[in-house]
Amino acid sequence: MTFKPVYVVDGARTPFLKVRGGPGAFSAGDLAVQAARAMLLRQPVEATALSEVIVGCAAPTPDETNIGRVVGLRVGTGNKVPAWTVMRNCASGMQALDSACVNIQTGRSDLVLACGTDALSRAPLLFSDGMVNWLAKWNGAKSTGQKLALLRQFKLSNLAPVIGLLKGLTDPVIGISMGQTAENLAWEFGITRKEMDAFSVRSHERAIAGQNRHAFDEITAIIDAKGNAYTEDDGIRRDSTVDKLGKLKPVFDKPSGNVTAGNSSQVTDGAAALLLASEEAVAKWNLQPIGRILDAQWAALDPAQMGLGPVHASVPILQRHNLGLNDLDLWEINEAFAAQVLGCIRAFESEQYCQAHFGLPALGTLDQDKLNVDGGAIALGHPVGASGARIVLHLLQALRARNLKRGMAAICIGGGQGGAMLVETLG
């Protein structure tokens, strides 16, 4: 398969804002619009010149169902630029990029705004089935007597809300949470609690170092309706230590598990936006790209081991380009859970796993000095729809900051899938 490179002209993201109880200040649309506007204002093209807008979002609210169109109109594309929404769980933002790439390669589009966004703080609270059934009967009641009878049947337990986010993080096919899939990998590969917590501390330490040296210049400040400004990721913990994390209780396998809130990604609101272009558009508008997307791959596996999706998606790309793990300059693997990323590292190293799933010898040990060099979702947060776009954007930024060339961004996907993109810088 020949993958005609697509140019990444520019990108921006919002600060990732930790969910702290109650709806956040921004809807998913607000976040995507502010990131996209900041980026487009730097470019010599108007939003009306875009071929299309594609937005990945895992949990749009009912008033932003086709959030792609909402974002397109709000950034000023006018009525004639089409816009649409994609959803591939945790990789929705990466899917937006890949969908843009396909349309650019086929000549359908030349210049595409591709975004990933989610405001998980606004995930809905739902009525229980008991409450829905009671309300249906109430609405159908035709007499006062019928309504009085229904009032006597009402149970206070009906008022207990169903948390939409928790339902979304539970696999409906195998009936277990995403956190339990991380526990599965920890058990399979012998990953200890101390290893998980140490990896998590490192994520925070690298994110802190990144903030200190301005490694997150892709972040644009955003302002809420009350005039409050948000300028940086607010979930990074400067006091994180292995000892402190070791005191946290397991969340998903409470009797004997090792996955805790401290070694899992943070529930977060945020968005990332990238401008992708064909070679012809680059020349027409005299654009100055920061990099190119060289290849992309989607893969599927057992939902109970969904965290190994990055392995299954990246291996075919490595094979197509005759690359070893450490032939790449940098890697970004989204940190859904510490156990999940460590599981990917162990799977690459495992002769048994690589032979069983790819018919290959073990790929070797991934150099962790090349992995998530400025921290990852454990420290920065994981707004589900945005993360796939964020890791591609930051990978390019991290490569450019170090005068490096090629890197791989990879992400696991709830439901048992994985996505990966191979990118390179220019100049």
Q: What DSSP character marks residue 18?
A: E
* Three-state secondary structure of 90-138: ECHHHHHHHHHHHHHHCCCCCEEEEEEEEEHHHCCEECCHHHHHHHHHH
Q: Which of 101, 312, 344, 382 is catalytic?
A: 382
Q: Which of 57, 90, 115, 354 is catalytic?
A: 90
Per-position DSSP letters for 26-59, written without gaps between them: --HHHHHHHHHHHHHTTSSS-GGG-SEEEEE-SS
Q: Residue 175 corresponds to which tokens in the numbers above?
A: 């009936």
Sign of CA dihedral 301, 307, 309, 314: negative
* 90 labelled catalytic: yes
Q: What DSSP character marks residue 403?
A: T
Distances 127 to 63, 151, 192, 382 between C-alpha atoms, Å: 18, 17, 39, 26
CA distance 253 to 55: 35
Within 8 A by CB and 6+ apart from 122, the residues are 23, 24, 27, 28, 59, 61, 269
Burial of 148 from C-beta contacts in 10 A (0-12 / 13-18 / 19+)? exposed
- Assign 408 to helix, strand or coil: strand
CA distance 343 to 336: 11
Within 8 A by CB and 6+ apart from 329, the residues are 370, 399, 402, 404, 405, 406, 407
Site of tokens 């996955």 = 259
Distances 241 to 199, 206, 385 between C-alpha atoms, Å: 10, 13, 29
| Cβ-contact 89, 58 below 8 angstroms | yes
- Assign 166 to helix, strand or coil: helix
Site of tokens 């977060």 = 268
Burial of 261 from C-beta contacts in 10 A (0-12 / 13-18 / 19+)? middle
Which residues are tagged catalytic?
Answer: 90, 382, 412
